Amino acid sequence: MTGEGDVLLRLDHVRKYFPVKGGALMQREKSHVHAVDDVSLQVRRGETLGLVGESGCGKSTLAACVVRLFELSGGSITFDGRDISRLSRRALRPVRRELQMVFQDPFASLNPRKRVGRIIGDPLRIHRLASEKQIDAQVRELLSRVGLSPEHMHRYPYEFSGGQRQRIGVARALALRPKLIVADEPVSALDVSIQAQIVNLLAELQQELALTYLFIAHDLGVVRHVSDRIAVMYLGKIVELSPAEDFYAQPIHPYSEALLSAVPIPDPDRSERRQQIVLEGDVPSPITPPSGCRFHPRCRYATDICARQEPPLVDYANGHLAACHHPLNLDRRSPVDATAPLRSPMDRPAAALIPTNEEGPNEQ
d(CA 152, CA 175): 16
pLDDT at 202 over 70: yes
pLDDT reported for residue 3: 46
- Domain hosting 318: range is 247-331
H or E segment and range at residue 7? strand 7-22
Under 8 Å between Cβ of 240 and 40: no
Residues with Cβ within 8 Å of residue 184, at least 6 apart in sequence: 59, 60, 63, 101, 102, 103, 104, 216
pLDDT at 346 over 80: no
Strands 180-184 and 212-216: parallel
d(CA 319, CA 242): 6
Residue 197 lies in a domain: no
pTM of the model: 0.85
Rounded to the nearest angstrom, the gap between the alpha carbon of residue 85 and the centroid of all alpha carbons in its chain is 19
pLDDT reported for residue 149: 96
d(CA 136, CA 149): 13
Residue 179 lies in a domain: no
Half-sphere exposure of 6 (CA within 13 A, CB side): 10
Residue 341 lies in a domain: no
Rounded to the nearest angstrom, the gap between the alpha carbon of residue 321 and the centroid of all alpha carbons in its chain is 18
Residue 275 lies in a domain: yes
d(CA 14, CA 37): 7
Residue 313 lies in a domain: yes
- Using CA atoms, how far residue 73 sits from 14, 17, 217, 220, in Å, is 8, 6, 24, 29
pLDDT reported for residue 26: 54
pLDDT reported for residue 276: 76
Nearest CA to 259 among 303, 310, 213, 295?
Answer: 295
Under 8 Å between Cβ of 136 and 117: yes
Q: Tens of pLDDT along 103-153? A: 999 889 999 999 999 999 999 999 999 999 999 999 999 999 999 999 999
Torsions phi, psi for 37 (to 5 deg): -135, 100
Residue 288 lies in a domain: yes
- Using CA atoms, how far residue 291 sits from 209, 287, 296, in Å, is 45, 12, 9
Residue 223 lies in a domain: no
The tally of domains found in the chain comes to 1
Q: What is the 3-state secondary structure (H, E, C) of 41-101?
A: EEEECCCEEEEECCCCCCHHHHHHHHCCCCCCCEEEEEECCEECCCCCHHHHHHHHCCEEE
Residue 157 lies in a domain: no
| Mean pLDDT within 148-161 | 96
pLDDT reported for residue 245: 94
Percent of residues, the chain, with pLDDT higher than 90: 72
Angle between helices 162-174 and 192-209 in degrees, nearest 10: 20
DSSP assignment string, 276-308: PPPPPSPPPPSSSPPSSSTTGGG-TT--HHHHH
